[in-house]
């Protein structure tokens, strides 16, 4: 297990999209060899790690009576991407997001945010970073019940000492943005779950953070509302281009939202990759298990089913390399002609035939 984790972790940077003419995006948040071991004594756990050269075996951990919630995790979150960490309960996903946001201190490892070593920050520096550069949305909303919607959204600005007029104006902007205009004087208890989470989102955006943590934000909501909120979330991200760490236990949600996904199991990161990578090249049987029921047309991109372009073909339409098949399957099948795959520089890099799409759709069914 630990071998695959190490392998996939070291392969991570190579997964950044670049071949299609997209620029390599800079790394916003990066962690290397992150460990979080729960126990009575933090120093004890730290010494234990040092004794075992930083990578103890499962047996050694069991023998010492230590429970590692996160083991040797390494990942990079790029500027402007939605990085989803997906795992079932007990996989360590909520521990890792708390380590990344410094709500928990990791037992060992490196954590770098915008080139700054977060673990070396003083408490004051950390408060400053959180006030201006980080925002977080919580699974159970974590709204302050004694404040109105407006009071909740202005709260992060108020404790920074922003004056009342400015903070209320800014808060009203984000409240409008999440579609809660007119409800700003209600108390949280008067709102539905979905609306409460909109408040949580508005509140985390009020300070215009660059790094946005979302800890299972839609898990506590009904399936229909969840879907609506996912769409809302994608809409916001198209407007705001934040760097996002998104936690979920729902693989479908991960596939829908992610630019890249990290799969966690027993505290280890099993594989990091685009949804397409995971479906096409699952690193382990565990990952494959998740991907088995995924509708391939919703995950695979034009790039992965295209064939080399033949000059002089009569194309029925154009698609981008990263477009998912489900997005253009219907018009392509209807037009009866192949589509061209065109990159950002306007070059045709491939063609998609009707047969390729039909075969894929038939496989998914």
Partner 1 sequence: MSLATATSPAPAARPFAGRLVWLAAIAVLVVLWQIAPSVAWIGDPASVYILPLQGWISSAMDWLVDDLSFGLFTFKELTRAIAWLLGLPLKACIAVLSKGWHLPIGADGVFVPPVPWFGVVAAVTWLGWRLGGRSLAILVALCFLYLAVFGQWASAMITLSSILVAVPVGVVVGIALGIVAHRSETLAALIRPLLDLMQTVPVFAYLVPVLFLFGFGPVSAMIATIIYAMPPMVRVTMLALKSVPPEVVEFGHMAGCTPRQMLWRILLPAARPSLMVGVNQVIMLSLNMVIIASMIGAGGLGRDVLTSLRRLAIGDGLEAGIAITLLAISLDRLSQAFVYRQKQPLHLEQGMGFLVRHATLSVFFGVVVASLLVAAFEPSIALYPKSMMLSTAPFWDGLVEFVNVHLYEYLDAIKAFLLINVLVPLKRFMVDAPWLGVVVILAVAGMRLGGVRLAIAVSLMAAFIALTGNWEKAMISVYLCGLSVIIASLIGIPIGILSARHDGFRRVARTTIDTLQTLPSFVYLIPVVMLFAVGDFSAMIAIVLYALAPAVRYADHGIRRVPANIMEAGTMAGCRPSQLLWKVQLPLAMPELMLGLNQTIMMALSMLVITALVGTNDLGQEVYIALTRADIGHGVVAGLCVAFIAMIADRLINAWAENRKRQLQLD
DSSP 39: S
Query: Which is closer to partner 1, CB of 22 or CB of 128?
Result: 128
CB of 14 to partner 1, least distance (A): 32
Is residue 142 a contact residue for partner 1 (CB under 8 A)?
A: yes
Is residue 315 a contact residue for partner 1 (CB under 8 A)?
A: no
Is residue 134 a contact residue for partner 1 (CB under 8 A)?
A: yes
Position among 37, 85, 100, 136 found at the interface with partner 1 (CB under 8 A): 136
Is residue 168 a contact residue for partner 1 (CB under 8 A)?
A: yes
Three-state DSSP class for 271? strand
CB 330 within 8 A of CB 354: no
Query: Which is closer to partner 1, CB of 110 or CB of 158?
Result: 158
Is residue 325 a contact residue for partner 1 (CB under 8 A)?
A: no
Position among 138, 172, 227, 323 found at the interface with partner 1 (CB under 8 A): 138
> Interacting stretch for partner 1, rule CB under 8 A, among 60-68, 78-86, 135-143, 308-316?
135-143
CB 27 within 8 A of CB 113: no
Radius of gyration of the chain measured on its C-alpha atoms: 23
Alpha carbons 358 and 1: distance in angstroms, whole number? 37
Is residue 78 a contact residue for partner 1 (CB under 8 A)?
A: no
Three-state DSSP class for 335? helix
Alpha carbons 262 and 246: distance in angstroms, whole number? 10
Sheet bearing 348-352, strands edge to edge: 317-319, 339-342, 348-352
Q: How many residues bind partner 1 (CB under 8 A)?
A: 34
CB of 159 to partner 1, least distance (A): 5
What does the per-residue mask of binding to partner 1 show for 147-166, with x meaning CB under 8 A? xx-xx---xx--xx------
- Residue listed under structure tokens 């309960």: 89
Query: Which is closer to partner 1, CB of 73 or CB of 150?
Result: 150
CB of 142 to partner 1, least distance (A): 4
Strand partners, 67: 38
Alpha carbons 274 and 84: distance in angstroms, whole number? 10
Alpha carbons 295 and 186: distance in angstroms, whole number? 41
Q: Which residues bind to partner 1, rule: CB under 8 A? A: 98, 101, 103, 127-132, 134-136, 138-142, 144-148, 150-151, 155-156, 159-160, 168, 185, 187, 204, 207, 213
């Amino acid at each position: 297990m630990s071998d695959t984790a190490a392998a996939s972790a070291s392969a991570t940077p190579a997964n950044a999209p670049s071949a299609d003419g997209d620029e390599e995006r800079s790394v916003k948040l990066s962690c290397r060899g992150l460990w979080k071991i729960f126990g009575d004594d933090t120093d004890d756990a730290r010494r234990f790690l040092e004794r075992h050269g930083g990578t103890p075996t499962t047996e050694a951990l069991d023998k010492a009576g230590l429970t590692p919630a996160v083991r040797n995790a390494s990942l990079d979150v790029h500027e402007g991407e939605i990085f989803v960490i997906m795992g079932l309960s007990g996989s360590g996903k909520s521990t890792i997001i708390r380590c990344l946001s410094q709500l928990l201190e990791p037992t060992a490892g490196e954590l770098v945010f915008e080139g700054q070593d977060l673990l070396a920050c003083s408490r004051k520096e950390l408060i400053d970073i959180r006030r201006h550069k980080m925002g977080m949305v919580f699974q159970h909303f974590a709204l302050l019940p004694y404040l109105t919607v407006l009071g909740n959204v202005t709260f992060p600005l108020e404790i920074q000492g922003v004056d009342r007029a400015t903070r209320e104006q800014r808060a009203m902007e984000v409240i409008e943005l999440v579609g809660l205009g007119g409800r700003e004087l209600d108390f949280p208890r008067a709102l539905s779950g979905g609306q409460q989470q909109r408040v949580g989102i508005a509140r985390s955006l009020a300070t215009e953070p660059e790094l946005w943590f979302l800890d299972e934000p839609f898990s506590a909501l009904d399936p229909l509302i969840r879907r609506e909120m996912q769409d809302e979330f994608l809409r916001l991200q198209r407007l705001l281009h934040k760097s996002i760490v998104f936690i979920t236990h729902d693989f479908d949600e991960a596939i829908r939202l992610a630019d890249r996904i990290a799969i966690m199991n027993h505290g280890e990161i099993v594989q990091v990759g685009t949804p397409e990578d995971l479906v096409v090249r699952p690193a382990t049987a565990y990952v494959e298990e998740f991907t088995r029921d995924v509708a391939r047309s919703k995950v695979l991109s034009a790039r992965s089913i295209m064939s080399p372009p033949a000059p002089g073909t009569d194309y029925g339409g154009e698609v981008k390399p990263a477009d998912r098949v489900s997005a253009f399957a219907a018009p392509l099948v209807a037009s009866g002609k192949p589509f061209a795959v065109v990159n950002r520089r306007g070059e045709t890099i491939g063609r998609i035939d009707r047969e390729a799409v039909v075969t894929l759709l038939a496989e998914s069914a």
